A and B are shown apart, each in its own frame.
Chain A
């Protein structure tokens, strides 16, 4: 009898509409002349509907507000402290695994974000000395903060902006480097590394502030750069303090 030619799995897939066209056509043709086969399909379909109907109203039950509140609170508590870059390091690793096209990304991001032909960022008025330029020493007031400000802390520099220390790490040569951000009208995300006691800008991008934060593009460029120079993992607060002492 034709019915036995189809097992329950196949009939179920047919009832669920996920069977391929050829097999579906074969079942449709067989059903036409086999009421028993039709009944089997109907039973499998109706069982699905019945189980769904039975449970469907559960999703309409009001979610206890305290449950939602607890989950939001847990989420907020799980948030790394602002300024910590541990998750960034994690993301860098993830992305490396994922095989991002870093060189292209660097080129695109830097072309879009690097300001001015001279590469000066943060210039106060026409006073280029107050700015940040790659390979140039940072202004004295910035250097003073880089020597002391722990990651996560921020301080206002008059006429320059709010400087936030983001992370501290060593580059491939072992030099001490600090990632920091200066927000004024624009956000400048920068890295300076200390050699022979002087902080020199190793990387800087500038972008318009996006809702008070540096936008994703500048961070992608930073991550690309960190990756390219084999930057070490961000230091723990203890290691950072010890490294800054020296």
Chain B
């Protein structure tokens, strides 16, 4: 069955199953990028559509990295178009990340609230790196591939972002 599957009838279906399995994480990344579940779902769907139309996704060694890359590029593409049209990015239905951490202690939620604000203030190129490495647990190398950056740039940018988060939230030593 499987042999025939990669031959004709089944290859795309198989890719579809793998994409569906990736959805929770792909959505998490997309929501982290655009902050709205609706926008994120739209983004995720478009990314899957692209993947299904492409020849490379089915045989990609790292489908996950490829999908993050497609979703991310689509998002920036949309942002660019919106900016040229003068539209504001809709944050009406922005997801409250801290509220999702309902089980954390009050003190921890306070810290997370400050982290959320600090993440929001980060330039997008630093934020996406935090999402890929800190949240999705990609290696620096994988993140570099997703973002098409030299690994040195990834490391310096990521360190900068993490330092900023630490400073903004008081989790860093005062004498930093």
Contact = CB atoms under 8 A, between A and B. Distances in A.
Nearest to B38: A64
A35 B116 CA distance: 28
A78 B3 contact: no
B157 to A, nearest CB: 10
A42 B19 CA distance: 36
A213 B23 contact: no
A104 interface: no
Binding site of A, secondary structure by majority: helix, strand, loop or mixed?
Answer: helix
Interface string A202-237: 000000001111111101000000000000000000
Contact of A216 (B3, B45, B48, B140): B3
A83 B95 CA distance: 46
Q: Which 9 A-B pairs have the closest CB atoms?
A: A75-B16, A216-B3, A39-B173, A213-B4, A211-B1, A43-B172, A43-B166, A8-B159, A58-B28
Interface of B: 1-13, 15-17, 19-20, 23-25, 27-28, 31-32, 37, 41, 44-45, 48-49, 52-53, 55, 59, 95, 97-98, 100-101, 104, 108, 111-112, 115-116, 119, 130-131, 133-135, 137, 139-140, 155-156, 158-163, 165-167, 169, 171-173, 175-176
Interface of A: 7-9, 11-13, 16, 18, 35-36, 39-40, 42-44, 46-61, 63-64, 67-68, 70-72, 74-76, 78-80, 82-85, 87-88, 90-91, 94, 210-217, 219
